Amino acid sequence: MCSTKSHLVRLGFHQALIKRSPRSSTSFSPYGFSSTLKFSGSEIRARGCNFRCSLVQISAMDEDFVGISSFDDWDDGAEISGGDSNVLSSSDDEESDTEFVVIPSTDVDLPCSIDDFDRSAVALGATTHRLRIFQKRRRKFRIQPGVVINMGLIAFLAVLLLFVDWCSWRIVRLPLPPFYLTRPFSVSAVLVSCAGYLYVPLADSLKIHQILRKEGPTMHSSKKGTPTMGGLFFVPIGIYVARVVAGSGSTGIYGTAAATLSFAAIGLLDDILSLTKNHNYGLPAWIKFLLQVAVGAGFSFWLGSANITSPYCMKMLIPLPAPFGLVYLGKLYLVFTAFCFVSMGNGVNLTDGLDGLAGGTAALAFIGMSIAILPICSDLAIFGASMAGACVGFLVHNGYKASIFMGDTGSLALGGALAAMAACTGMFFPLFISSGIFVLETLSVIMQVLFFKGTKRLCGGGRRFFRMAPLHHHLELCGLKEPLIVAGAYFISSVLAIFAGYVGLISA
């Protein structure tokens, strides 16, 4: 058997006479990549082994070796080109297969077996195929837009709370503990995000799945089967953290927590009925409205007898910016409180139609209210920061694309908590500013209903002002993507939260 010192390629041809061929080029790769074969011949004699072989230089070769028809018609007596080459040896007095040596030589290409047009088409197809694979890999590892939006929201809230904590002594004129608002916010966010990893699989195994309405947008059909009733795990955690951080002597937190849990119970009943009846209607609208009014009226009467800390030493007051100052409402304060409970509860409920929309805007509304009421009732400011952190922790699982929905259990509870914070401090004006997205969504539904009924009475056929109400569904049908709508709502809510906090501070 022949052997060489280095760079031997065994092609397995028998002893043959090889002659040089004219220069040409060819492609052997199935993907269109060119492979050029270069040949030179020589007569080799070594240790008495008298036979002729060819020496081949190969730049690149595929496994599917095609394009060479025969080696038998090549001439004898070809010489090795170049002086420095590897030695080809064979066993004495026995025939063996020819072995070829890779050596530097003059480039000689084989004839082309594929025409130029087919070769270009194959190469183009291979390039396109590789680009598609590369794009799929990029899509696989691309960060979801919901994660980017949530990270931006968390960064904004953290910076805002750190700034407020840094200059809180100028606002309250009293020494507050370090990280007064940042601490409950962070603790609630971490606890809720961890609890979600336990609750989401549990709700999925118990078949607590969202049932979509037939009249909803068709693009939401992919959300069918998503677990719901997420308010069961993030609302109690937000209340508990506020209770622990603020201590046991805060009457305002007790009353606000009771109102929040009452609204959560109404939402829980609504969610249970919607699941058992296999449709997403739940409680009749008039029953839900009466229950909300009852909770709001009960909170108003409790507020009249409760001893809540206030710098004015008076109740039933609404602080407004100059030149209005303090406005005394008397008994109208109780009516206005019940109205805020109903409007805020339904406003958050109507906004909860896109992944992360209600949770993120509610977190911003809570932060705006916490800043606004900080000079009046600092304990309730802790409650607002804790509930904002609970909403942010919930967004870890509710951001686009959501793995769980908050349901009426969470949306009604958030609305009730915001209304209770405003009722305990009189900060109704900052409440409507910081909750501007909820107000806008509610107004869009009212406009849609009134416009439809008015055109039906005047024109004989009802027409719609929006393509679909609430407003976020109208924007979806106009062609805007869900993450873009949510990001826009976050930006508007951020501006409104800062403005609401400023109005509350100058009013107090």
Alpha-helical runs (H) found in 400-507: 407-425, 428-434, 436-459, 471-477, 482-507
Alpha-helical runs (H) found in 144-284: 145-166, 168-172, 182-205, 231-246, 251-276
Q: Is the pLDDT of residue 70 over 70?
A: no
Q: In terms of pLDDT, which residue wins out, 9 or 350? A: 350
pLDDT of residue 41: 44
Decide: 363 and 437 in contact? Cβ < 8 Å: no
User: Each residue of 177-236: pLDDT tens digit?
Assistant: 889 999 999 999 999 999 999 999 999 898 888 777 766 677 777 788 889 999 999 999
Q: Is the pLDDT of residue 96 over 50?
A: no
Angle between helices 182-205 and 145-166 (to 10 degrees): 150
% residues pLDDT > 90 (the chain): 40
CA distance 235 to 387: 7
Q: Is the pLDDT of residue 253 over 80?
A: yes
Q: Is the pLDDT of residue 7 over 80?
A: no
Please, how many CA atoms are within 13 Å of residue 457, restricted to the half-sphere of its CB? 5
User: Over the chain, what is the mean pLDDT?
Assistant: 77
Q: Is the pLDDT of residue 90 over 50?
A: no
Confidence of residue 240 (pLDDT cuts 50, 70, 90): very high
pLDDT of residue 97: 46
Confidence of residue 85 (pLDDT cuts 50, 70, 90): very low
Summarize the confidence of residues 164-185 as an average pLDDT: 86
* Degrees, nearest 5: CA angle 85-86-88: 125
pLDDT of residue 239: 95
Q: Which of 80-94, 97-111, 226-240, 377-391 has the lowest mean pLDDT?
A: 80-94
Q: Look at the block and give the residue holding tokens 């507050």.
A: 176
Q: Domain boundaries in the chain?
A: 8-139, 145-507
Decide: 283 and 250 in contact? Cβ < 8 Å: no
Q: In terms of pLDDT, which residue wins out, 188 or 64? A: 188
Summarize the confidence of residues 296-301 as an average pLDDT: 90
At 95, give phi and psi (nearest 5°). -85, 145
CA distance 344 to 296: 11
Q: In terms of pLDDT, which residue wins out, 118 or 265? A: 265
CA distance 312 to 308: 11
Confidence of residue 91 (pLDDT cuts 50, 70, 90): very low
Q: Is the pLDDT of residue 172 over 80?
A: no
User: Each residue of 113-152: pLDDT tens digit?
Assistant: 445 555 666 666 777 766 676 566 555 546 688 889 999 9
Q: Is the pLDDT of residue 326 over 90?
A: no
% residues pLDDT > 70 (the chain): 69
Confidence of residue 462 (pLDDT cuts 50, 70, 90): confident
pLDDT of residue 216: 65
Q: In terms of pLDDT, which residue wins out, 404 or 456? A: 404
- Residue 45 CA, chain-centre distance (Å), reads 74
Q: Is the pLDDT of residue 32 over 70?
A: no
User: Each residue of 402-421: pLDDT tens digit?
Assistant: 899 999 999 999 999 999 99
Confidence of residue 456 (pLDDT cuts 50, 70, 90): confident
Q: Is the pLDDT of residue 431 over 70?
A: yes
Q: Is the pLDDT of residue 52 over 80?
A: no
Sign for the pseudo-dihedral over CA of 79, 83, 89, 92? positive
Q: Which of 101-105, 208-212, 267-271, 486-490 has the lowest mean pLDDT?
A: 101-105
pLDDT of residue 497: 96
Summarize the confidence of residues 77-81 as an average pLDDT: 40
Q: In terms of pLDDT, which residue wins out, 419 or 110? A: 419
Q: In terms of pLDDT, which residue wins out, 438 or 72? A: 438
